[in-house]
Amino acid sequence: MVTLRIGGFDVKRVLVDPSSVVEVMYPDLYKGLNLRPEDLTAYDSPLISFEGKTVVPKGQIRLPIQTGLEVVEVDFIVVDAYSPYTAIIAKPWLHALRAVSSTLHQKLKYHSGGQVEEIRGDQAMARQCIVAAISRRSNAESLAPVKRL
């Protein structure tokens, strides 16, 4: 969980997922950046959520992510689904930045301007997101109708 400068704004609650192949943007960030439906280009391939549900994207948008002096243009898939995260950053961004991530150390390192730069993860924010996701799931399960035999 990191904070990144996306589209000119500092964005918190960004999950770095080195196993994912697409960058995803959730409604909080979409609304926070004042994006409109006409800003999106078509993207019609469905995605599978963390809950295993099929999610149809609203579209795709290309935005810059700035880390220090480095700027990488990223194609975000915009979905209208709940997530405690604002966005997920994946392999395409990591590879473009030539970054190495360590989930054990909660860090991301990359070369910039002849030196090694580091982005540290925010463990407290990560815990808050996990708690939010678990409590949301618990609430949804408690509201589900009970089937009797």
Q: Tens digits of per-residue pLDDT, 39-49? A: 999 998 988 87
Residue 148's pLDDT band, with cuts at 50, 70 and 90, is very low
Q: Cα(31)–Cα(60) distance, rounded to whole angstroms?
A: 14
What count of Cα atoms within 13 Å lies in the side-chain half-sphere of residue 138? 6
If you classify domain 2-143 with CATH, what class do you get? Answer: mainly beta
The residue that leads in pLDDT, 1 or 91, is 91
CA–CA distance, 131 with 55 (Å, rounded to integer): 23
| Arithmetic mean of pLDDT, 18-30 | 92
CB count in 10 Å sphere of residue 87: 26
